[in-house]
Amino acid sequence: LFRAWMFLVTLLGIFILSTLIGVLSSGLEEQLDGLRKGRSRVVEHDHTVVLGWSAQVFPIISELVEANASRRKACVVVLGEKDKVEMEDAIAEAIDDRRTTRIVCRNGSPRSLHDLRIAGIDSARSIIIVAPENDQGEKSDDPDVDVIKALLAITNNPDRKASKYHIVAEIRDPKNFAVAQMVGKDEVELVLVGDLVARIMAQTCRQSGLSVVYTELLDFGGDEIYFKEEPGLVGKTYAEALLAYEDCAVIGLRPKGGAPMLNPKTDTPISTGDRLIVVAEDDDAIKLGNPPAPASAAAIVPASEPEMQPERSLILGWTWRAPSVINELDNYVPPGSTIHVVADSDTAEETIRTDCGTLKRQKLQFRRADTTDRRVLDALKVQGYDHVIVLCYSDTHGVQKADATTLITLLHLRDIAEKTNHRIPVVSEMLDIKNRALAEVTRADDFIVSDRLVSLMLSQI
């Protein structure tokens, strides 16, 4: 009987041990599978969270790596609706040198309360929300909806932290700006993408090379814009602050509790708590210099104002940003100017009629035609225009096809300029920064990589 009982106990022990091994193996496999899929919760603190997956993630991470170079242990967490391994491989291919920054990828929806907890947003120093891509690798049809939903999930989470978040998000349609502002309140800084790019494009077409200046100010290489409180200038005027530095330039003033002012009146006093807005190589390079010598009033000669003549502008191609570009140009051109839009688009004419009906200084004409057709460009006599803007068909084409269409148009314009021996001032929009190098052969005056500029702005804020 004793041997029989021992035999049964042995069998039971083997069964229990086998079950335990199976449970441990299954649990370990489940945990490893969760790690592979990117569903485990991050344990980082004071990190930056990027919500959404698109091509903008790469320049954002690249700039954050540059900005975090002075920090010993920095971390960027990316939460997107894409396989974790795919995201890691794409980032590794795009960004070689990560310096002191560790990049963590997690699979999940930025609109899900549970998935947001995975990214550890409550312990993050800042959150960046980008418009996600669809399955074809292009921006979704209504990206603002995804951004607003993500804002709602963060700010209205019942288990959210008590302190304020620092959120930066992009909004495409101006009509959605007020709604996003109501949702995010004072916890979100919104970048109106169309308005930003339209302003830069309108100004760059009148001053070639301006996009390089904007890129220099917005990226973390070279000089950037900083806010600096300077107790040594309290009680002095803005004019005195302009000459107080040797290695940086003052461009504005932010009063305590007030909105920033760029280039205010020179007699504006500087009070305690006011912060100067300066362009400097780094924040530790903002140091007061020696008092400047007094200016010689005799050396100042007033410049004569040139007489403004009506201008002719030409826009080739179409994108959803085109109406903003047209309206922005109306602020700079002299009265009596004309703007001619040529695009192969089904919606362009109707959009122009509804969104560009308040032009005051320029008369608008539209013609539907293929902008890559040499006969169309020859008939336009492009050499007679003061400004030529080439836009990408980003609404109807993918990134590469849209850039290819732009390249063909630019090559035709270069050939026309060479054959007519006329300089054609051309500013072009590109979507993929890698295509900018290819476009250099077209000898355009300037290229604006719109998505990259938006990414730089998001990173700085």
Q: Identify the pLDDT of residue 27.
A: 82
Asked whether the predicted pLDDT for residue 156 surpasses 70, the reply is yes
**pLDDT (mean) for 292-314:** 83
At 28, is the pLDDT very low, low, confident or very high (cuts 50, 70, 90)? confident
pLDDT at 340 over 90: yes
pLDDT band at residue 100 under the 50/70/90 scheme? confident
Residues 6+ apart with CB under 8 A from 365: 338, 339, 340, 341
State how far the Cα of 74 lies from the Cα of 67, in Å rounded to an integer.
Answer: 10
Q: What is the mean pLDDT of the chain?
A: 85
| Whole-angstrom Cα Rg for the chain | 28
Higher pLDDT, 268 or 174: 268
| pLDDT classification of 253: cutoffs 50, 70, 90 | very high
Helices (H), 356-441: 374-380, 399-420, 434-439
Distance of CA 278 to the CA centre of its chain: 21
Q: From its phi and psi, is residue 8 left (phi > 0), alpha (psi between -120 and 50) or beta?
A: alpha
Distance set, CA 442 to CA 42, 397, 409, 418 (Å):
47, 21, 9, 11
Residue 456 backbone dihedrals phi, psi, to 5 degrees? -65, -40
The angle formed by the CA atoms of residues 350, 343 and 176, to the nearest 5 degrees, is 50
Give pLDDT, residue 339. Answer: 92
Q: Which residue has the tokens 């990316």?
A: 78
| Angle at which helices 193-204 and 210-218 cross, to 10° | 140
* β-strand pairing of 426-430 with 387-390: parallel
CB 106 within 8 A of CB 34: no
56-70, 111-125, 132-146, 306-320: least confident range: 132-146
Structure token pair of residue 294:
């007094």
Q: pLDDT-based confidence at 128, cuts 50/70/90?
A: very high
Q: What is the C-alpha separation between 80 and 326, in angstroms, rounded?
A: 35
302 in Cβ contact with 255 (< 8 Å): no
Q: Phi, psi (5° rounding) for residue 322?
A: -60, -45
What pLDDT does 140 receive?
60
Q: How confident is the model at residue 183 (pLDDT cuts 50, 70, 90)?
A: confident
Distance CA 22, CA 445 (A): 68
Amino acid of residue 28: L
The Cα-based distances of 195 to 229, 251, 292 in angstroms read 30, 22, 39
CA distances from 175 to 155, 178, 181, 397, 455 (A): 21, 7, 11, 24, 21
| Region for residue 278 given its phi and psi (left: phi exceeds 0; alpha: psi -120 to 50; beta: otherwise) | beta
Nearest to 450 by CA among 426, 425, 427, 433: 433
pTM of the predicted protein model: 0.76
Tell me, what DSSP letter sits at residue 207?
Answer: S
Distance CA 104, CA 45 (A): 13
Cβ neighbour number for residue 361 with a 10 Å cutoff = 16
Q: Which amino acid is at 12?
A: L
> Dmax over Cα atoms in the chain, in whole Å?
122
Name the DSSP class of 335.
Answer: T
> CB–CB of 92/247 below 8 Å?
no
The pLDDT assigned to 278 comes to 92
Res. 36 pLDDT band, cuts 50 70 90: low
* Core vs surface per residue 371-405: b (16+ CB within 10 A) or e: bbeeebbeebebeebbbbbbbbbbbebebeebbbb
Torsion of CA 140, 350, 428, 437, to 10 degrees: 30
Q: Which residues contact 452 (CB under 8 A, 6 or more apart)?
A: 59, 215, 433
User: Regarding predicted confidence, which is higher, 107 or 34?
Assistant: 107
